[in-house]
Amino acid sequence: MKKDISYPIKESFYSIQGEGFYYGIAAYFIRFGGCNIKCDWCDTKESWNIEKKDFISIHKIISNVVNNNHKIKTVIITGGEPTMWNLFPLIEKLKKKKYRIHIETSGSYPIKEKYVDWITISPKKIKLPIQENYKKINELKIIISDENDFLFAEEQASYIKSTNCFLFLQPEWNNISWILPKIVSYIKKNPKWRISLQIHKILNIP
């Protein structure tokens, strides 16, 4: 019998997608442990550190999804940085169960896109996405923390050749009251961008 692969999973929960194009839909989140970047303002720092007890087999991960709620349609794989791990064996099995698969990533590792329905890349200045990922992306989500980040957003958007990639600016949560008016004004002048708010934080849900 083949050995069941395990991954470090920090948490899994059924909630509402709070960000980007699919905001508002019900989705099951699987949060991987470990991150290669460690942003100062990361809202999920508790995912960085991996412990032995975090490892869960694919079999168990899938049975947790299936048993959580039979109405689940979309599974969002996030972290931490999920693409540090070989996600394919998990994604293949989730796909056999007919789930839609979305990935949230910084894009700094190769992404195997087979069976993945939606790829969100949120690039980070200190470890940029690898070039080939710009061809696979469905949604670019730039976190705007200060005014220099608008220039970074434009630079990142210039690497995307596809015309059906959605472009989002998302305020850094701790800075939201200061930066939000600047994002609104920027988008009015540069309407190829859309705003993404972290509505789960407003709703006070995971």
Name residues contacting ligand SAM, limited to 100-119 (CB under 6 A).
Answer: 104-106
Q: Is 82 among the annotated ligand-binding positions?
A: no
Q: Does 140 bind ligand SF4 (CB under 6 A)?
A: no
Q: What is 32-47 written as a DSSP string?
A: E---SS--TT-TTGGG
Query: Which SS3 state, helix, strand or coil, does residue 166 take?
Result: strand
The percent helix, strand, coil of the chain (3-state, each to 5) is: 35, 25, 40
Cβ neighbours around 3 below 10 Å, total: 6
Measuring CA to CA, which residue among 127, 32, 135 is closest to residue 75? Answer: 32
**Sequence-ordered list of residues with C-beta below 8 angstroms from that of 64, at least 6 positions apart, any chain:** 12, 56
Q: Which runs of consecutive H residues, i.e. helices, occur in 35-175?
A: 58-68, 88-96, 148-158
Of the candidate spans 30-38, 59-67, 128-136, 164-172, the one that interacts with ligand SF4 by CB under 6 A turns out to be 30-38
Site string for ligand 2KA, 2-21 (x = CB under 6 A): -------------xxxxx--
Of the candidate spans 22-30, 42-50, 56-64, 86-94, the one that interacts with ligand SAM by CB under 6 A turns out to be 42-50
Q: Does 170 bind ligand 2KA (CB under 6 A)?
A: no
Selection from ligand SF4, ligand 2KA, ligand SAM, none that 200 binds (CB < 5 to 8 A by kind) is: ligand 2KA
Residue entry with tokens 């434009």: 154
The residue from 30, 137, 143, 169 that contacts ligand SAM (CB under 6 A) is 143
Residues that bind ligand SF4 (CB under 6 A): 35, 37-39, 42, 44, 79-81, 106, 124
Residues that bind ligand SAM (CB under 6 A): 35, 41-44, 78-79, 81, 104-106, 122, 141, 143, 170, 172-174, 198
